[in-house]
């Protein structure tokens, strides 16, 4: 099973992904003339920031729809479709930048090997994604609502990868990277509008509703809202319980 991406919904309701990505951008510190890969660029909102520093940048994403939108929005930047597990590059980049992507790649060893292969010697990765216990309360509420209605198979779908620093650093070191900086932190994330939680679930959890009717899906979404409202609806706004891992490592 794979996640389908709705580029229009992503841009309309989830631009916070790119905005929060500006924090990790401060770790990248691109230099003029560097060749940088924006891995999992989505609709491209952070890619121009890299280009604006004078670096040469290539944005890649596994979603054809995301790449098409990125090309339309930023026609002067190069984008191409590529899979993080099998990047078609060798010793090509000075740095790889990746924001909110690698928790979608369950075959993490393949992604790490692919990044390592794509970098020049001495090149660096600067990555941020969901860390240990990310969205734990949302995921628990979703799973319980599915199980309650007899959708055990849907509830047991597992494809996110949320590691601790120790786990991910070990995998990087096993591949040959030297980890030079790492953080694991809470980042409560406001979601847009009164339907913010529903929109988030429809954007990022579509796979869990495979084979479920529209009526049942709406009932499940409403139940999740009821369960989470006391803890995740703050001052008139839905807030997601994000926990992030941020890592810099050198080849």
What are the mean pLDDT values of the chain's consecutive 10-residue runs (251 residues total)?
46 46 83 97 91 96 92 96 97 96 94 98 97 96 96 91 97 98 93 89 90 96 97 94 96 98
Please indicate, yes or no, if residue 211 is contained in any of the structural domains.
Answer: no
Q: 21: closest CA among 48, 53, 61?
A: 48
Q: Is 120 exposed, middle or buried (0-12, 13-18, 19+ CB in 10 A)?
A: middle
Q: What was the pLDDT predicted at 193?
A: 82
Tokens of 6: 């709705």
In a domain? residue 109: yes
Number of domains in the chain: 1
What CA–CA distance (Å, rounded) separates 31 from 45?
Answer: 19
Angle between helices 136-148 and 214-232 (to 10 degrees): 140
We report the CATH number of the domain holding residue 52 as 3.40.50.150
Distance CA 51, CA 56 (A): 6
Q: What is the pLDDT of residue 7?
A: 44
**pLDDT of 14:** 42
* Structural domain contains residue 22: yes
Task: Determine, yes or no, domain membership for 27.
Answer: yes
By CB neighbour count within 10 A (0-12 exposed, 13-18 middle, 19+ buried), where does 174 fall? exposed
pLDDT for residue 23: 74
**Tally of CB atoms within 10 A around 229:** 12
- Domain limits at 167? 7-134+160-192+241-250
The answer to whether residue 148 sits within a structural domain is: no
Residue 203: per-residue pLDDT: 84
For residue 89, is it within any domain?
Answer: yes
Q: What is the pLDDT of residue 132?
A: 97
d(CA 126, CA 119): 12
pTM: 0.87
Q: Specify if 219 maps to a domain.
A: no
Look at residue 93 in the predicted model and tell me its pLDDT: 98
Q: What are phi and psi of 19, to 5 degrees?
A: -65, -45
| Domain contains 149 | no
pLDDT at 21: 56
Q: Do the strands 233-234 and 237-250 form a parallel or antiparallel pair, or are they unpaired?
A: antiparallel
Inter-residue contact 142 to 208 (CB < 8 Å): yes
């Amino acid at each position: 099973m794979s996640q389908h991406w709705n580029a229009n919904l992503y841009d309309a309701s989830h631009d916070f992904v790119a905005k929060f990505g500006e924090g990790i951008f401060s770790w990248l510190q691109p230099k003029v003339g560097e060749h940088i890969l924006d891995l999992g660029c989505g609709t491209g909102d952070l890619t121009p920031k890299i280009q604006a520093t004078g670096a040469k940048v290539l944005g890649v994403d596994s979603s054809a729809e995301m790449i098409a939108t990125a090309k339309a929005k930023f026609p002067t930047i190069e984008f191409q479709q590529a899979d993080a597990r099998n990047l078609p590059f060798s010793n090509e980049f000075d740095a790889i930048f990746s924001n909110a992507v690698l928790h979608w790649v369950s075959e993490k060893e393949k992604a790490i090997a692919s990044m390592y292969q794509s970098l020049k010697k001495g090149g660096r990765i600067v990555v941020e994604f969901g860390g240990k216990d990310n969205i734990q309360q949302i995921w628990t509420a979703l799973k319980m609502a599915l199980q309650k209605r007899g959708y055990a198979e849907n509830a047991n779908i597992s494809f996110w990868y949320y590691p601790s620093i120790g786990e991910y650093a070990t995998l990087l070191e096993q591949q040959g990277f030297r980890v030079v900086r790492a953080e694991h932190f809470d980042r409560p994330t406001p979601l847009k509008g009164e339907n913010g939680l529903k929109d988030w679930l429809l954007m990022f959890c579509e796979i869990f509703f495979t084979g479920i009717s529209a009526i049942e899906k709406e009932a499940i979404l409403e139940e999740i809202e009821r369960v989470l409202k006391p803890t995740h609806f703050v001052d008139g706004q839905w807030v997601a319980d994000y926990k992030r891992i941020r890592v810099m490592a050198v080849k």
